[in-house]
């Protein structure tokens, strides 16, 4: 995996292209995840260094699930003008440093540390139904058809 990533980075730099959009899944497959989207599909990865987040919204609030550069995956709620930010949920992995969150093809949503690939947190939703991670209008985070947080 490190060799594949190193080769991809060297090729990107050599060709003069930006590497911030480069997506490498944990199983070695490439995945194109928008930096802000309403859904994270199986095989997609959110990188802490790339300022990537998932969003949901209601008539009165906006929700963001952010993979932070400190290693914590956090859901935030703000009002429609962007004020009064509240933390709704987190993996509690703020201590881990550079990390990424991957929605694996088996249905498990996992936070890995970048430096050694250690599992820091997992939703334990493998082999359950559903095909994407999203946030509903109440702020509930869904991994496939399984809620992993309460309303916010």
Considering the entire predicted model, what is its pTM? 0.74
Q: Is residue 13 part of a domain?
A: no
Q: Is residue 60 part of a domain?
A: yes
> 38 near 62, Cβ under 8 Å?
no
The dihedrals phi and psi of 19, each to the nearest 5 degrees, come to -100, 0
- Neighbour count for residue 17 (Cβ, 10 Å): 11
- The parent domain of residue 51 ranges over 33-147
37: domain CATH number is 2.90.10.10
Residue 39's Cβ-count burial label (10 Å; 0-12, 13-18, 19+) is: middle
User: What is each CA distance from 139 to 87, 128, 147, in whole angstroms?
Assistant: 11, 21, 10
70, pLDDT greater than 60: yes
| Cα(107)–Cα(105) distance, integer angstroms | 5
Q: Is residue 91 part of a domain?
A: yes
| Cα(108)–Cα(62) distance, integer angstroms | 25
66, pLDDT greater than 90: yes
| Span 88-136, pLDDT tens digits | 999 999 998 899 999 999 999 999 999 999 999 999 999 998 999 999 9
Count the domains in the chain. Answer: 1
Q: Is residue 141 part of a domain?
A: yes
| Span 2-58, pLDDT tens digits | 333 333 333 333 333 222 222 223 333 335 455 567 899 999 999 998 878 888 989
| Cα(34)–Cα(44) distance, integer angstroms | 10
Q: Is residue 138 part of a domain?
A: yes
């Amino acid at each position: 995996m490190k060799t594949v990533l190193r080769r991809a980075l060297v090729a990107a730099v050599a060709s003069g292209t930006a590497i911030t959009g480069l997506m490498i899944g944990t199983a070695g497959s490439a995945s194109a995840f928008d930096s802000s989207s309403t859904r994270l599909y199986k095989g997609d990865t959110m990188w802490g260094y790339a300022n990537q987040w998932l969003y949901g919204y209601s008539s009165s609030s906006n929700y963001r699930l952010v993979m932070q550069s400190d290693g914590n995956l956090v859901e935030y709620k703000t009002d429609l003008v962007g004020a009064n930010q509240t933390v709704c949920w987190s993996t509690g992995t703020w201590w881990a440093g550079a990390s990424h969150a991957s929605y694996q093809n088996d249905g498990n949503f996992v936070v890995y540390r970048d430096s050694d690939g250690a599992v820091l947190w997992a939703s334990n939703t493998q082999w359950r139904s559903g095909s994407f991670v999203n946030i509903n209008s109440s702020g509930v985070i869904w991994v496939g058809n399984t809620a992993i947080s309460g309303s916010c």
